[in-house]
Structure 1
Amino acid sequence: MIDLLRTLTSLHGPSGYEQEVSYFLRDYLKDKADQVEIDPIGNVIAKKKGAKPGPAILLTAHMDEVGFIIKKIEANGLLRFEKLGGNDDRNLVAQPVRLLGEKGHINGVIGTLSAHFAKFDDAQKVRKHSQLYIDVGASSHEEVIDMGIEVGTPVTWGTDLQTLGTAAPKVRAKSLDDRAGCAVILQVLEELADDFAGELICLFTVQEEVGLRGAKTASEYIEADAAIAIDTTAGSDTLEQTMDQTLRLGKGTGIKVMDASLIVPKTMKQQLIKLAKHHHIPYQLEVFTGIGTDGGAVTYANKGIPTGVLSIPSRYTHSAIELVDVGDLLATKDLVKAFVKSVTPDSRFPF
């Protein structure tokens, strides 16, 4: 599963520019699903029938990642940028980035003052992204254009996946939010084959980081009886004063109770808890109003789709160095798989 995650996080798909990821998922799923399509907004939808009749279950994760977009090319070749998604200005300076230019990928860095200038500056100041710039090594406006960069060129973080730790290994990469969720769904589909009842609908959405736009669009025409959204969530187990230790890496998948986008229906929440206990899958209960997921969009769809959410705890979310525990990733996969296998032809999901 780490190899799959390495591949997924190596792809570049900031919100609105997810083509690399969409096309990879479409091709990867061709031999693993009965039907695969990319809808007009870029969502990838894969459907697979189980060995027995039963309800339609929707599994969803978003493929986009937070990023940036070039706003202005300065005369000296430095680049001004805007945010795509919820980047924190404190995390931006001195970080590697990759520009998705017309002639290929281009490495760059978000510039910062040399430490030698600190005594001449306000060391406590956090510069807004509008005051920052990307350096691609160009010396002029013309050189930037020749490199295939223009206003509107999308940008992602420039970091690659690494493994950390030994006893409880972790992975560090860009875009684990939410390529980790995508990897979970792909692995579930691989392991299940057709050993389930009903139909499995796998939805990989675009533009989640800018307002759940892909999920809002797709869920209006997807007919499902219940849904599980899989996403990362911000862990609270580090040493900062604001951390409350309610969601910790290495303690299992997060079963969502409530966030800013939905209150999980009691029947869905209780079913996930019951399955986790029965299969001895480690889990934590999550109440966190600082986040929203595609589950919030799906639950509104049609007449309302009963929706549960599983959260993969993550440190340093929306940065170049997101970090998740491999055990939590596997626990999430195991609980999604247990939920799908628990469905029978007579399964219902009442309020």
Structure 2
Amino acid sequence: MKDLLKELTAIHGPCGFEDEVAIYIANRLKGKVDSIKIDNAGNLITIKKGHKPGPKIIVAAHMDEVGFIVKKIEKNGLIRFEKLGGHDDRILLSQRVQIKTATGMRTGVIGTISAHMVKFDDPMKVRIHRNLYIDVGASSQQEAKDLGIEIGDSVTWFPHFDLLTETRVSGKAFDDRAGCAILVKALEDLDSADFVGEIIGVFTVQEEVGLRGARTAAHQFDADVALALDTTAVSDTPEEMMDNTLALGDGVGIKVIDFSLIANKKVKNQLVKAANEQDINYQLEVFLGIGTDAGELSVGQSGIPTGVLSIPSRYAHSSIEVIDLNDVEATRQLLVAFIKEMNYAADYRVKLNLEETK
């Protein structure tokens, strides 16, 4: 899993530019699933069939990462940019970035003032991203263009994958290449004899700008149940707003509620039951500060009973996200356990017992 995660996070794939991620995953899953296709939105859709007919499950993980897009090249060669996805302007300064051009990757840095200039500035000021710039070393607009940089080029954090301990790693794009890695491994490892029905593995696009890929995918399949795989923000560091309800290393998060979804109660309960039976570490997640593809999956067709498996993460949407590989493995194990016991949609509905009246 570690090597797969390293390879996935190294790929350049911000919102709307997920092509290389899709190609990598498709090549990896060739021969491991029954069908692979790209839909009109750009989602990579894979289907794996069990040994006999049964319920159908959509499992979604988004391929895109937060990034930027080149907006303007100044006369002095500095590059103005817009955001792709949610960023905190406070952490943009001095970061290394990577620009994908028609001629290859170019490295740049988001500029900041020298520490010697702080005495002439407001030290409490946070400059919005539109006042910032990327420095690629060019001294003129023409030189930047000669490097292959054009308006509309995509930008991500510069890739790295650092082992902090044996199980904790830091890097970019764990949101949500970690989810992609888990789904890839599940599709690779599950044999058709292990389950009944169908797994519809959807690697979605443009989640970070409004769950757009999931919105289109949700209406393409008459599924019985759906799960989204995504990272979630832990609250185990010392900042004032942290409440220690989710912690790194404490296991997979089983979603109860976020701003995009109130998880189907029976799906959530089945996940908890499977985790207890398989002795998988888990934590229940109540966090309104996040949304996932599950929000769109749940309203597909006539409604799909939906839940979420969350991978705990620190420093989300930054260049130094941190996850614990034990949590990743717990998420994979619970996904596989759920697939083996998944039910038809009717089993996740409210049961009515209406007596006939005269």
TM-score range, shorter chain: over 0.9
Secondary structure, counterpart of 1:106 in structure 2: strand
- Offset from partner CA, 1:86-110 (integer Å, 9 cap, x none): 0110110000000011111100010
Work out the CA distance in 2 between the residues paired with 1:142 and 1:31: 47
Q: CA deviation at 1:348?
A: 3.2
Q: Does 1:275 align with 2:274?
A: yes
Give 2:122's aligned amino acid.
D
* Bigger mean CA offset, 115-124 vs 300-309: 115-124
Cα separation, partners in 2 of 1:124 and 1:345, compared to 1, 3 Å: closer
Work out the CA distance in 2 between the residues paired with 1:227 and 1:242: 32
| Contact 1:26/1:38 (8 A) holds in 2 | no
Work out the CA distance in 2 between the residues paired with 1:2 and 1:136: 31
Q: CA deviation at 1:190?
A: 1.7
Cα separation, partners in 2 of 1:201 and 1:180, compared to 1, 3 Å: same
Tell me what 2:172 maps to: 174
Work out the CA distance in 2 between the residues paired with 1:230 and 1:190: 16
Q: CA deviation at 1:58?
A: 1.0
| Contact 1:159/1:321 (8 A) holds in 2 | no
| Contact 2:226/2:304 (8 A) holds in 1 | yes
Tell me what 2:34 maps to: 34
Tell me what 1:255 maps to: 254
Secondary structure, counterpart of 2:69 in structure 1: strand
Tell me what 1:131 maps to: 131
Q: Does 1:337 align with 2:336?
A: yes
| Contact 1:54/1:347 (8 A) holds in 2 | no
Structure-2-length-normalised TM-score: 0.95
Q: Does 1:193 align with 2:191?
A: yes
Structure-1-length-normalised TM-score: 0.97
Secondary structure, counterpart of 1:224 in structure 2: coil
Work out the CA distance in 1 between the residues paired with 2:346 and 2:174: 33
Tell me what 2:296 maps to: 297
Give 2:302's aligned amino acid.
K
Structure 1 unaligned residues grouped into runs of 5+: none
Give 1:48's aligned amino acid.
K
Secondary structure, counterpart of 1:145 in structure 2: helix
Secondary structure, counterpart of 1:182 in structure 2: helix
The structure 1 segments of at least 4 consecutive aligned residues displaced by more than 6 Å after TM superposition are 344-347
Give 1:92's aligned amino acid.
L
Give 1:188's aligned amino acid.
A
| 1:136-285 to 2 correspondences below 5 Å | 136-166=136-166, 169-194=167-192, 195-285=194-284
Q: CA deviation at 1:113?
A: 0.8
Query: Highest Rg: 1 or 2?
Result: 2
Q: CA deviation at 1:346?
A: 10
Give 1:67's aligned amino acid.
G
Tell me what 1:108 maps to: 108
| Contact 1:197/1:345 (8 A) holds in 2 | no
Tell me what 2:321 maps to: 322
| Contact 1:66/1:84 (8 A) holds in 2 | yes
* Bigger mean CA offset, 175-184 vs 117-126: 117-126
Q: CA RMSD in A?
A: 1.2
- Offset from partner CA, 1:164-206 (integer Å, 9 cap, x none): 124xx21111100000000011111122121111111100000
Give 2:294's aligned amino acid.
G
Cα separation, partners in 2 of 1:216 and 1:345, compared to 1, 3 Å: closer
Secondary structure, counterpart of 1:272 in structure 2: helix
| 1:81-96 to 2 correspondences below 5 Å | 81-96=81-96
Q: CA deviation at 1:122?
A: 1.3
| Contact 2:29/2:188 (8 A) holds in 1 | no
